[in-house]
Amino acid sequence: MKDLILQIAQALVDHPEQVSVTEIQGNQTSVLELKVAKDDLGKIIGKQGRTARAIRTLLSAASAKLKKRTVLEILE
């Protein structure tokens, strides 16, 4: 899951070297924290949050296949 989010985010931003994803494991839920450069934050979120919603949809579909729950948090 971490690699999926990392590749998607690096493809969207202007500064792919500043993209980092950290994973916090829980019993049933994992939290992925996505951190990008400050000027790339708008590209990850998108107009009215559409890009962020699309990334979360892909993440939930992939994690459902593994029978886990994964949450994406976008950090500033």
- Distance, in Å, from the CA atom of 36 to the CA atom of 61, rounded to the nearest integer, reads 23
Instruction: Look up the CATH number of the domain holding residue 14.
Output: 3.30.300.20
> For residue 76, what are its two tokens?
């500033």
Could you give the number of structural domains in the chain?
1
Quote the pLDDT of residue 62. Answer: 93
Q: Are strands 69-75 and 20-25 parallel, antiparallel or unpaired?
A: unpaired
- What confidence tens digit (pLDDT) does each residue in 36-66 have? 999 999 999 999 999 999 999 999 999 999 8
Number of Cβ atoms within 10 Å of the Cβ of 71: 15
Residue range of the domain that includes 13: 2-75
Overall average pLDDT of the 66-73 stretch: 93
Question: Looking at this protein, which amino acid is placed at residue 15?
Answer: H
| Reported pTM | 0.90
Residue 76 pLDDT grade (very low, low, confident, very high; cuts 50, 70, 90)? confident
- Distance, in Å, from the CA atom of 52 to the CA atom of 74, rounded to the nearest integer, reads 8
